[in-house]
Structure 1
Amino acid sequence: MRTVLSRLIHSTPSISRLNATAISISGRNLCTDSNKVDEPFKVEEAETVNVPPPPAEKLLVLGGNGFVGSHVCREALDRGLSVASLSRSGRSSLHDSWATNVSWYKGNLLSNDSLKEALNGVTAVISCVGGFGSNSYMYKINGTANINAIRAASDQGVKRFVYISAADFGVVNYLLQGYYDGKKAAETEIQAKFPYGGVILRPGFIYGTRSVGSLKIPLGVIGSPLEMALEIAKPLKQIPLVGPLLTPPVNVTAVAKVAVRAATDAVFPPGIVDVHGIQRYSQQHK
């Protein structure tokens, strides 16, 4: 037994030899020679990581090739926003240079599938969709089409929704019942789906330069003087039946400015903004 143990002890490498071998394998920065000073570890600089900027806000304008919609698109582009538009005709027929910077989509809001692609990456929606015709047609365009858009935007997680509605003109409402009933239905849907990010603009007659192909129609020739005159007659609005007819017109540029601000300003209060509110907000520098 003693002979076996003796052979095992003599055949096992010494501890010092094991330590020396381990140290020599560990790398060039360690040394077993007491006369040499260990080289310091080299610390390399951390690699610079380019963090992409936060994504820009993307605005979808429904009816962006119309009178109001085209002004909304241009205002949004002037503010540096990424702008898309969806309408039944698709790409705008306007020859203005800004139109090339809009992503145009063709679709029908009465179809549930039309909005899927256009809503991709969108943070806010402005609807300028509206139309005239028979009562049933007006309700579909002003009401059902917009309700479909509001629901689709809500399901997609869009933060804010701005709807260009219309001022209450009293007696006129009965003459255009489908138009105003549709508008009110859309307003109700916005308040339900976007209680904290839904804004309803109620302008009266909207004037400005309307483009029809290459033709420019200066509606301001009538609208601007009328706006000043009816603003002076503001106290008469309290008269039943007659009062609503005295709602002053508003410039399309003012409507566009307020609509874009309402869609992008997180502190813009939700709810209804009448003609006078539109005029007031448009004069504020934001």
Structure 2
Amino acid sequence: MKAVVSRLACSKSSLASFPKISSSMSWRHLSTESNKVDEPFKVEEAETVNMPPPPTEKLLVLGGNGFVGSHVCKEALNRGLVVASLSRSGRSSLHDAWANDVTWHQGNLLAPETLKDALTGVTSVISCVGGFGSNSQMYKINGTANINAIRAASEQGVKRFVYISAADFGVVNYLIQGYYEGKRAAETELLTKFPYGGVILRPGFIYGTRRVGSMKIPLGVIGSPMEMIFQRTKPLNQLPLVGPLFTPPVNVTAVAKVAVRAATDPVFPPGIVDVHGILRHSQQKLK
């Protein structure tokens, strides 16, 4: 026992023999030079930099003064997008307040150079361009014009391109052959140039209130009941030859809603969306 006490006493005295470090030295580091000490490390507050907000997406609607195009413009404005339109006639004849918020360009897609200025700063494009006439005219309007637009948009680095095409109607396709050949040629070009950001909508009969001059034609009187009936007769679509005639009509607001979503939502799947897909997407809530 005495030996243990003796050892503890010795260890205590040996600890006491170490020199004491000054309290002032605890806040300084010894320098490599014997006659200097480093100053305490100081942290300066970083300067706050005011970064500009992320740029708003700009949408170009081709044929924005038409029946479908005008609804697309209105839907895009409601979503807070910057909206421009290009068509042969330029500014829309509509006197609705929203039309004043669209930048209207006049141009012809058969002359691609007229599209360049309209594509400045554009992140996505929706083409509503289409029409009827002779087979050669229909191919130019539905095919060549849209192909020119797709190529120009690709060269300008546009991210997404939505093309409003048309559903197959079986035997009807042969009656307006140039129309469908043009549509399908444009679809092929879009899937080639925009494999990850190209969306093709294939609605059937699009109904809504059309304006022809000062007249309003309420196509919904026919289209809305037909849509309800044909949605319940989907198996009839599989009938040979006449099956496509049972494709349900779709409201123009539903087409516009899905088109704008497809043009701005990066997770919207690329590819072809038939009329049933349009109806399904239009019923989903926007994020």
Q: Same fold (TM over 0.5)?
A: yes
Give the CA deviation at 1:283.
0.1
RMSD: 1.6
How many residues are aligned here? Answer: 246
Give the CA deviation at 1:215.
3.0
Answering whether residue 205 of structure 2 is matched by residue 205 of structure 1, we say: yes
Partner residue, 1:53: 53
Answering whether residue 92 of structure 2 is matched by residue 92 of structure 1, we say: yes
Partner residue, 2:263: 263
Give the CA deviation at 1:209.
1.3
CA distance in 2, matches of 1:95, 1:47: 50
CA distance in 1, matches of 2:226, 2:64: 27
Partner residue, 2:124: 124
Partner residue, 2:24: none
Percent identity over the alignment is 83
SS in 1 for 2:221: helix
SS in 2 for 1:151: helix
| Match runs of 1:38-77 below 5 Å | 48-77=48-77
Give the CA deviation at 1:70.
0.2
Preserved contact between residue 59 and residue 83 of structure 1 (Cα < 8 Å): yes
CA distance in 2, matches of 1:194, 1:81: 22
TM-score, normalization by structure 2: 0.83
* 1:140-182 Cα distance to aligned partner (Å, 9 max, x none): 0000000000000000000000000000001000000000000
TM-score, normalization by structure 1: 0.83
Segments of structure 1 that go 5 or more residues without pairing to the other structure are 1-42
Q: Could you tell which deviates more after superposition, 260-269 or 224-233?
A: 224-233
Q: Could you tell which deviates more after superposition, 124-133 or 205-214?
A: 205-214
Corresponding letter in the other structure for 1:259: A
CA distance in 2, matches of 1:90, 1:154: 23
Q: Could you tell which deviates more after superposition, 141-150 or 239-248?
A: 239-248
Partner residue, 1:37: none
Give the CA deviation at 1:47.
5.4
Segments of structure 2 that go 5 or more residues without pairing to the other structure are 1-42
Corresponding letter in the other structure for 1:179: Y
Partner residue, 1:218: 218
CA distance in 2, matches of 1:217, 1:132: 19
| Match runs of 1:1-286 below 5 Å | 48-286=48-286
CA distance in 2, matches of 1:213, 1:73: 20
Corresponding letter in the other structure for 2:242: V
SS in 2 for 1:113: helix
Moved over 4 A (4+): 43-48
